[in-house]
Structure 1
Amino acid sequence: MDFLTSSTHLHITAWVVALVLFLVGAFVSKSKGIHMALRLFYILTIITGGALFIEAMDYGMGMQYGIKFLLGILVIGMMEMILVRQKKNKPTTMFWILFAVFLFAVLYMGFKLPMGQNFLA
C-alpha cells in the first residue's frame, strides 16, 4: 500500500475531483450518475486520507492529522447533506456555511502540516 502514501498526489487528485463533481452536482446537474460517481470519490478520498493519516504518525503530529481527518469527514458529510437536501427541496443555507468553514479549515491544515504542499510558508 506504499502507492497510497508515497506522496499526497493521489489524495489531492481524489478530493479535487470530488469537489468538482460536487459543484457540478449542486449547481448544474441533478443526475443520479454524478451523485454516484461523487460517492465513489468520497470513498477514495477517505481511503487515501486514512493511509496518509497512518503514515503521519511518523511525524509525531498525530493529533493535528487526526483533527484534519475529522474535518475532512465533516466536509464530505456537508457535501452529501447539501446534495440530498437539495434533491428533497429542503433549505441548505446552514450546510453551505458549514461546508465553507470546514473546507477552509481542512485546506488550511492540509497545507500547513508537514506532509502537505508548502504554499503557506
Structure 2
Amino acid sequence: MTTHLHITSWVLAFILFGLALMFYKQGKNKPAKILQMILRLDYLLILYSGGDLIMYYFQQSFMLGEVIVKGLAGIWVIAAMEMIAGKYSKGKPVMGVWVQFAIAVLIVLVLGFGRLPFGLHFMS
C-alpha cells in the first residue's frame, strides 16, 4: 500500500507550499519559484500515490462514490495551491482561493481519514 507515501508527500507539499508563500510575502521571488518547482515535482508523487490508492479501492469495490469525490477534491487542493501561489507571486488578492482551498482540504481529510477504510486506523 502506498498510504504512507501518500501522506508523507502531502505533508511535504504543505511544508513546501507554506515556505514558498513565506518567501513570496518577503519579496524573495527566486527562492519562492524554486520551492514552487520542487512542489510541482511533489505533486507528481501525490498524484501517483493517490492514483495507486484509488486503483486499490476500485479493485476492492470500497465506497466508489466517496473515492471518486476524494480524488477530485485532492486534485482541487492541488489546483488551489497553484492558484494561491500564482496570485501571491503577482500580488493579487487570494481570499476566494483560500476559501476554496479550505473547503477542498476539509473534504479530503474527512473522506481520507474519517470515512474511507485506508486512513489512519488502517496504518496502525
The TM-score by the shorter chain falls in which range?
Answer: 0.7 to 0.9
- Letter matched to residue 102 of structure 2: A
Q: Is the 8 A contact 2:2 2:49 kept in 1?
A: no
User: Structure 1 stretches (4+) deviating beyond 3 angstroms?
Assistant: none
Partner of 2:22: 27
Which of residues 3, 6, 10 in structure 1 aligns to 2:5?
10
Instruction: State the shift of 1:28 in Å.
Output: 3.5
Q: Which moved more, 1:17-26 or 1:110-119?
A: 110-119
Which of residues 104, 112, 121 in structure 2 aligns to 1:102?
104
Sequence identity of aligned pairs in percent? 40
Q: Comparing both chains, which one has the higher relative contact order based on Cα–Cα distances under 8 Å and sequence gaps of 6 or more? A: 2
Q: Alpha carbon RMSD of aligned pairs, Å?
A: 1.5
1:78 counterpart = 2:80: yes
Q: Which moved more, 1:54-63 or 1:83-92?
A: 54-63
Report the Cα distance in structure 1 between the residues aligned to 2:2 and 2:20, rounded to whole angstroms: 29
Report the Cα distance in structure 1 between the residues aligned to 2:99 and 2:62, rounded to whole angstroms: 32
- Letter matched to residue 41 of structure 2: L
Gaps of at least 5 residues in structure 1 are 1-5
Gaps of at least 5 residues in structure 2 are none
Report the Cα distance in structure 1 between the residues aligned to 2:118 and 2:40, rounded to whole angstroms: 25
Report the Cα distance in structure 2 between the residues aligned to 1:39 and 1:50, rounded to whole angstroms: 16
- TM-score, normalised relative to structure 1: 0.88
Q: Is the 8 A contact 1:56 1:115 kept in 2?
A: no
Compare the two structures and name the one with the higher helix fraction: 2
Report the Cα distance in structure 2 between the residues aligned to 1:103 and 1:36, rounded to whole angstroms: 21
Count of paired positions? 114
- Letter matched to residue 54 of structure 1: M
